[in-house]
Amino acid sequence: MAESTSAHTAPAHSALATVFQVRENELQVLLWERARDPFQGDWSLPGGSLGVGETLEASILRHLAAKVDVREVAHLEQLGTWSHPSRHPEHWELATAYVGLVPLGIDPRVPADTRWHPVDALPATAFDHGAIVLAGRERLRGKLSYSNVGFALAPKTFTLAELRDIYTAALGYDVSATNLKRVLLRRGAIETTGGRRTHGPAGGRPAEVFRFRTSHLEVTDPFAVLRPPT
């Protein structure tokens, strides 16, 4: 019996970006609407095929630049590779996904076919991109527990109430501002700026302003797990 020619065909390889931002008090992901088959009209993660002689890192930065200003992505890391032979209906294709984070308050310019979508209310997605989005969210939630990755979701300076809202949106449950302050200060992840500011037109007692100590990823407690309140 003749062997299938596909057995001698190397798979295509694409790079995908799962870009998250807290918008309107929700964790949202950047998706673009497919204009052709397969999955015409469904929503996909930004990305595409590797170019000749291109690394995965160079490829994802190139594809991201076509959808969003890469300079506004505060953190980018590899998430994993999806390799099921039938994940693409037309040919054999592996996909290596990255997680990218955009700080609160930045509104990147995106093309007309690209929009932010709440992770808790994803539209119909192409291929296995919905599963990749959820895997990216789980990676983010884990890193919020044991690292300082919150720097990539927060603005440069913030009050504890503002930071609590960011963590609540990303983690999916209420977070105590007092406990967050205690944990992040004990780990040396945040520091006070010495300033204070009021919230909104109603004024009120000015709140202390903080910032993350560094804008580079650090593991602050490798065994820590943030959990929902009981």
Of 218, 176, 213, 161, nearest in space to 191 by CA:
213
Q: pLDDT category, 203, cuts 50, 70, 90?
A: low
What is the predicted pLDDT for the residue at 81? Answer: 98
What is the predicted pLDDT for the residue at 5? Answer: 42
Task: Find the mean pLDDT for residues 7-32.
Answer: 93
Domain ranges of the chain: 9-144, 146-212
Cα gap 113→36, rounded to integer Å: 12
Same fold, 9-144 and 146-212: no
- Residue 120, φ and ψ in degrees, nearest 5: -80, -5
CATH of 146-212, one of 1.10.10.10, 3.30.160.40, 1.10.8.80, 3.40.47.10: 1.10.10.10
**Taking a C-beta distance cutoff of 8 angstroms, is the pair 22, 31 a contact?**
no
pLDDT of residue 229 exceeding 90, the answer is no
Extract long-range pairs of 201-207: CB within 8 Å, 24+ residues apart: 207/159, 207/160, 207/161
pLDDT of residue 166 exceeding 80, the answer is yes
Q: Which two tokens stand for residue 207?
A: 């709140």
9-144, which class in CATH?
alpha beta
pTM (2 decimals)?
0.93
What is the predicted pLDDT for the residue at 7? Answer: 53
Q: pLDDT category, 226, cuts 50, 70, 90?
A: confident
Distant-in-sequence, close-in-space partners of 13: CB < 8 Å, separation ≥ 6: 49, 50, 93, 94, 95, 96
Neighbours of 180 (CB within 10 A): 21
- Span 91-139, pLDDT tens digits: 999 999 999 999 999 999 999 999 999 999 999 999 999 999 999 999 9
